[in-house]
Amino acid sequence: MSLVEQVVDQLKARGGKPGEFKEMVSVTVDKETLVDSVEAAKNAGFAMISDIFGIDYLEYPGHQGKRFTVAYNLYSFEKNERIFIRVNLEDGETLPTITHLWKGANFMEREVYDMFGVQFEGHPDLRKLITPEDLDGHPHRKDFPLGETPTLFNDGRFLDPAAFRAGMTGESGGLTGFTGGARKGVRSEQGREIISHETTGEGGQT
């Protein structure tokens, strides 16, 4: 009995639903049992957290159920096996952090927060990781607009790429010819919108 099968059985007892596609085993667990399940998998031998990432199923054809999935990619050194633990959640729902299990989960959870706006409760330092901190919204959500749309940043800066290019080259506004309003990122109604930007006064001037 392989390690993956063992863990799948353990998680099934906790209400997890296993799935498989091309030899990749995943178990979908409830939000309430997430930390418990991940810890059980860790204790069973999945010693390394390889990645945490989100998927937004908003535009997935025929998708039933909750909008977001956050997946935990775990790897076992001894058995050389891999398992994905998945949890589904709606917009605005929060997840418990697993940074107490692995310190390496820190950046991974921050990235999910940055890209999808999923809040992790108990995370020691939940800030945006990659995008500019004054960008409003979470770019990997499927309803985040694409392309050369004018963008309004939190601090009032206004960027219009087509107009900028036209100003540089003296030509027209380009093929995109966007005539709509300024983009504002999609904010979640519940929970914190963006971690507050208290300036600490260190590390440079405004």
Partner 1 sequence: MTMNANVGAMPQATTKEGEGPFETKYMRVNVGPQHPSTHGVLRLVVDLDGERIARIIPQIGYLHTGFEKTMENRTYQQGVTYSNRMDYLHGFGHDLAYCLSAEKLIDAQVPVRAQRIRVILTELNRIASHLVFFGTGLLDMGALTPFFYTMREREDILDIFEMVCGVRMNYGYFRVGGLSRDIPEGFEGAVRSFLASFPAMLDQYSTLFENNDIFVNRTKGIGIITKEQAIDYGLTGSSLRASGVGLDYRKAQPYSGYEDYDFGVPVYPTGDVRSRFWIRFDEMKESMKIIRQALNRLEPGPVKDPDRRISLPPRSELENSMEAVIFHFKLVTEGFHPPRGEVYVPTESARGELGYYLVSDGGSMPYRVKVRVPSLINLQSLEPSCIGGLFADMVANIASFDPVMGDVDK
- Which chain residues interact with partner 1 by CB under 8 A? 21-22, 24, 47-51, 53, 55-56, 59-61, 71, 73, 75, 77, 80, 82, 84, 102-108, 111, 125, 127-134, 139-140, 146, 155, 195-206
Minimum CB separation of residue 200 from partner 1 in Å reads 7
Nearer to partner 1, 100 or 172 (CB): 100
Beta bridge partners of 152: 158
- Cβ neighbors of 133 (< 8 A, separation 6 or more) are 127, 194, 197
Are β-strands 119-121 and 94-96 bridged in parallel, bridged antiparallel, or unpaired?
A: parallel
Nearer to partner 1, 32 or 100 (CB): 100
Token couple for 86 = 């998945």
Nearer to partner 1, 25 or 171 (CB): 25
Query: Is residue 98 within 8 Å of residue 105, measured between CB atoms?
Result: yes
Nearer to partner 1, 32 or 55 (CB): 55
Token couple for 89 = 């959640």
